[in-house]
Structure 1
Amino acid sequence: MAASFWLESPLTNDNGAVGLGTFARRSTVSLSGGFGEIRLGRDYTPTFWNDTLFDPFSNIGVGGNLIGSVNTRLAVATARATGDPLNGGLPGGPDNYVRTANAIGYFLPAGLNGLYGQVQYALHENVKRDEEVGSPSRRGAEAGLRLGYAAGALDVAGTFVQSTVGDAWLPGGVHGTRKVRSASLGASYDFGGAKLFGEVSRVVDEARSAFAVHGFQVPTSITGTYQGALLGITVPLGAGQIRAAYSRVKFENDARPFAPLGTAAGEASAAKLALGYSHSLSRRTTLYATVARIRIRDGQNNPAVIGVGVGPAGTGTFATSGGFSPRSATGYDFGVRHVF
């Protein structure tokens, strides 16, 4: 058996404001052996693994797929809605999309004829609660799994994750909750001369609450659904590699019996086309360049999530002071990557 630890810190390379001062990225201890691996701490979620491993751009940079961008923006939006960002409020990290804290995880061992997978459960920060106003919240709890099969050129995996991003007892004995459920299926196949990637995703953001009518509490439910799809390819070219991907996410809102004032309603969608090239100068040093074009339809119906652009992490907004996102935007990145 082996006992292991992993402490990973974020770095802001442009201004040095953050560096080796926290371990707000992955921070885990684990025990592994023939039985697999038990991992405790702050770790990546099953959803993020699929969004990253089945993306030619690894879900980063301006070429990062829209499924990951929208999921990140949704996590940030739900954190802001509650006024209490989880996970330290880090960009791209709150509310259990990229990483989750307090996690108990189990990974299947190798040697299962290509079968792999993980189960993850994250605890909230509070003690046992009572059914009364002001009692401790279960916000931050998360449960998920990922199951896949990899053999030869084929790799395919499916995920399901549920995260509690809102939880409170309201006046009148109403239990208000907000849960985000995500499911995805991703696959890749390496033909040798080219590698194809694909993913489909469905994310449901459901908020249950109540409103007062003549002294009575009337239950209400607001559900936002995000349907995503990705198709990508990488092609080796000598010491380089061409990468391309097209991704799209469609948003639909279903409010029952009606949407509270200020709630985005209707439909919106965004589509992104990305093209990139990387060139290896050595085993550890690579030059890269990417260009991406995003187009938004009816972004005003959900400016906090669908109104996304191609920022440094693929998640920047281009919203104006009126809250309306432009119909299109173009982003570029280029640089050198060195692995130590």
Structure 2
Amino acid sequence: MKKYTLLLLTIAATVVILIQSILYIKAGASAGKTSGVPAESLARLSEQVSVRAARRGNPWINLRDGRDLVAELTGADQGLLAGEGLAEPMALASDDFDEDGTPDLVTAHRAAQGGVLSFYRGNVDAVYPNAPEAKARKAAGSYTDAPFLSPGRLLATAEPPDLLGAGDFDADGHRDIVAAARGGSSIYVLSGDGRGGFPRSKQIQLPGRVTALTAGEINRADGLADIIVGISTQDGARALVFEDLRGAIKAAPESHALPATATDFALGDFVDGYETDLAIASGSQLLVLHGRDRRSAKQSRPRITSRRFSSAIESLATGNFTGSHRFEVGVLSEEGEIAALTPVKVKSKN
């Protein structure tokens, strides 16, 4: 029995060492991209505070003051972000686009002509500052504690990217970007190559004008991100769900009629099931499309529940806001009213 226990402990220790080695190798490969970079080219945070947030949320939320990211930019449209007022920031999305284990950042900007996306690779040294590779870069003068690396890369878009999402939308195992303009009639999917590049794009025409967008898994999880778009048509408002095992960009969208224009979406487990539900801000109503099993999603209508508020809903957020240890949806109305629903208990509209 002692020999058996000793063998198990030896195997467990070996596995732990291997996992740590793999993490350090990935970290070194990621942050090693800054090796040999002149110090003046490294990304850094501005000395001037842009958003004062320190100690405002104690003891529940501990934030640091916000500072601008100072980084070089590459790309054909560098001038769009070079001066004040040339581009208006609209949206953010985060995912591991270069597959190095560290989340990257995409920011969306509205410009006078179309728009521009800026892509920044995540900095593993900001997460593991005491790793051997990080210490080596400190000694070499190529270390930065900025959350993202320089240079950032700019990508031009045909329309202003007011709305942004991230996920694997073409089922190739790499993370992609989806963007849309409010009031536009298309969504644009930029296919990632797993190395931080986006060599291909696809435009998907919609039967109405875009009012809202989100990306993530809906219904039973299948490992692929889905795309949900709110549109306004001559026949009323609708929510379109792009979901397919071959990738969302290959899906014929499932259409759901709405009582009013959708202003925001949120995905989560709002009714204590294993499927992911969809919360919709539709005028002054909060609708929840209950998640379904993938096998029955195409054959059955979803159960829809609703709750009415005194004014139109402006935005939604998900999380555990009240300490209930359950998934909640936070609602912000245009009058400034905030509500956290745990879970959403409303009447059925089958």
TM class, shorter-length: 0.3 to 0.5
In terms of fraction of residues, the more helix-rich structure is 2
Task: Name which structure has the greater RCO, CA cutoff 8 Å, separation 6+.
Answer: 1
Larger Rg, first or second structure (1 or 2)? 2
Length-normalised TM-score, structure 2: 0.32
Length-normalised TM-score, structure 1: 0.32
In terms of fraction of residues, the more strand-rich structure is 1
